[in-house]
Structure 1
Amino acid sequence: MDVKEYIASGKLELYVAGALSPEENLEVQHYAIQYPEIRKEIEEIEKAILELTKAASPKMPENGFAKVKAEIDDVIPFTPQASSKGTPWGSYLGWAASVLLAIGLFWMYTENSKLKSEIELTNQEKQSLEDILSDTQEEITSKETLLQEIRDRNVAVVALGGQTVSPESYAKAYWNKEENKVIIDAQGLPEPPDGFTYQVWSLKLNPLTPTSIGLLDDFASQDTKLFTLENANESEAFGITLEPEGGSETPTLDQLYTLGAVGS
């Protein structure tokens, strides 16, 4: 028999792959015993398949396969052995089964990690929505409280009309004398320029005596433009001027934006 021709026929690859009939398998085994070249070629084919199988397995952490092996050993002993003449396919099957299980376990680990990340993201979104809802509820409660205070029967409403520096400006003062409190509705005032703020004055008219009752700070960020200030004065009028940040000791009269008398 021409050994080289037999090796080149491809029959040995089919034998290792388990694709031959029982009769053909016996023939190959017979020749492998008889011809060392054929036996060596079979071992080389097995070795190549094992190397290919290992190379095709997914990348895992350095100790990842040891963990997978421990999982496998709980079910079936995992002790790959070198090829022998009696079991040419057994070693390959062991590697193939192990690699497939490793791939499955690695896939499950990856999916589990993705699921945990999605759950964490969902929890964060849920917390964010809860925070927004809480802030919204607090804002609604605050507005309802202000609305109730404005509608109190003891509140005097003072309309403040625009003055020379800004004729189109307007505001309202809701003054509760019993609680010494004034709520300024500054919706009709333009946003103050950088470095300036609005200052509210309680006025006695005769003689003209202005007393500062507070600043309308954070004007731009205050959506409602409602500001609550303390006022224990016997006010006869209210005025709002534009002043440098921090306020002034006395009003800058040429920057008087609105003015209104109590009871007018």
Structure 2
Amino acid sequence: MEEVKAYIESGILELYVLGQLNAQESSEVEAMANKHPEVSAELAAIELALEAYALENAIAPSNALEDKILAQFTTTAPVTTSAPEPKVVPLYEGQKDGTVRTLRYALIACSILLVLSLGALFSAHKDLSQANEQIATLSLDKEKFASTVSKLEFDKSGMENRIAMTETDEWATVKLAGVKDSPKAKMLVYWNKKDKSILINYVAMDLPKTDQAHEYQLWALVDGKPVSLGVFSSTDNAKEAVKQMETIEKAQAFAVTIEPMGGSQNPTMEKMVVMGGVTI
């Protein structure tokens, strides 16, 4: 019902009655009228209102304009020397001039009404366009607000996890620092001492940006050999603030490299961004 109400209030029915729509738009109005009795009733009401307005606001033309219009309803034949002068016969013989005059007033009033209506509809269309622009702006602002709220919730979840990790002896925190090509990079890896599970916290990392064809891969150094603990995306694409990686029984160090999507069997050493030794 709200959709039908909005359609009626859009001003398109008035444009239809005045014949200002193209064939496709007119077909859409007729389809809506056939589907919704409210639309059909509104069309009928608009037509009656326009007719009543035209009659109530009829403006008498000036004498000169009236004579010019009435002259078009009489015909005369050219005068020749070989034929008698023709008789001028009124178009509506037997009727008073008032009948023709009333009809002319109505036609002139309709023309004026059409001009006024077009102006009003143009103004309404302009106002409607401005309203649509405001709605689009509000929608964009709503999306930005929702994105901000989502980011705050993401950061809140990550901070709560960091606090929880510092308040228990069950988890060991391994700090990974940037290497030569990425000195400002940093990251924390949480290693459970009991079940050997690995967690990473997006809020506790600052890694170089990757392109759409690459992602991060976490490695553990076990007896001098790298073991993959899985891949993870950038912070912008992360769905949760905390992500669980593959478990590892023991490790001497952890490192992160940038690899093609899906990861690599062996780390690309020149793409290493952070590394940290295990002290537990």
Deviations 1:112-168 (A, max 9, x none): 2333333333223222222221122111101110111122123533222344x5372
From the superposition, tell whether residues 130 and 111 of structure 1 become closer, same or farther in structure 2 (CA, over 3 Å): same
The SS at the match of 1:112 is helix
Q: Residue type of the partner of 2:19?
A: P
Distance 1:216 1:107 in 2: 60
Select 1:61's aligned residue among 19, 24, 27: 19
In the other structure, the counterpart of 2:187 is 172
Deviations 1:32-66 (A, max 9, x none): xxxxxxxxxxxxxxxxxxxxxxxxxxxx63799xx
The answer to whether the 8 Å contact 1:198/1:216 transfers is: yes
Shift in alpha-carbon separation, 1:160–1:99, aligned structure 2, 3 A: same
Q: Aligned-pair RMSD on alpha carbons? A: 4.1
In the TM superposition, 1:83-232 aligns within 5 A as: 83=70, 93-152=105-164, 153-154=167-168, 155-163=171-179, 166=181, 168-175=183-190, 177=192, 180-183=198-201, 185-187=204-206, 189-192=207-210, 196-204=214-222, 207-218=223-234, 221=236, 228-232=243-247
| Aligned CA distance change for structure 1 residues 190 and 98 (closer, same or farther; 3 Å) | closer
Give the structure-2-normalised TM-score.
0.53
Aligned partner of 2:248 among 214, 221, 233: 233
Task: Name the SS for the 2:257 alignment partner.
Answer: strand
Provide TM-score, normalisation by structure 1. Answer: 0.56
- Measure, in 2, the Cα distance between the counterparts of 1:180 and 1:211: 13
CA contact (8 A) 1:160 1:172 kept: yes
Contact (CA 8 Å) 1:198, 1:215: kept in 2 or not?
yes
Q: How many residues align?
A: 195
Q: Percent identity?
A: 16
Amino acid across the alignment from 1:74? A
Name structure 2 gaps, 5 residues minimum: 1-17, 23-43, 61-65, 71-89, 91-95
Q: Aligned pair 1:74/2:52, yes or no?
A: yes
Select 1:248's aligned residue among 261, 264, 274. 264
Counterpart Cα distance in 2 of 1:167 and 1:99: 77
What's the CA shift for 1:230?
1.9
CA distance in 1, matches of 2:106, 2:213: 79
Match of 2:277 among 255, 258, 261: 261
- CA displacement, residues 166-202 of structure 1 (integer Å, 9 cap, x when unaligned): 3725422141527742226442x43457855432112
Alignment of 1:26-45 (within 5 A): none
**TM-superposed deviation, 1:250:** 2.6
Pick closer, same or farther for the CA change 1:215–1:98 going to 2, 3 Å.
same
Is the CA contact (8 Å cut-off) linking 2:182 and 2:208 kept in structure 1?
Answer: no
**Greater Cα radius of gyration, structure 1 or 2:** 1
1:173–1:183 CA contact under 8 A, matched in 2: yes
Q: Distance in 2 between matches of 1:195 and 1:217?
A: 11
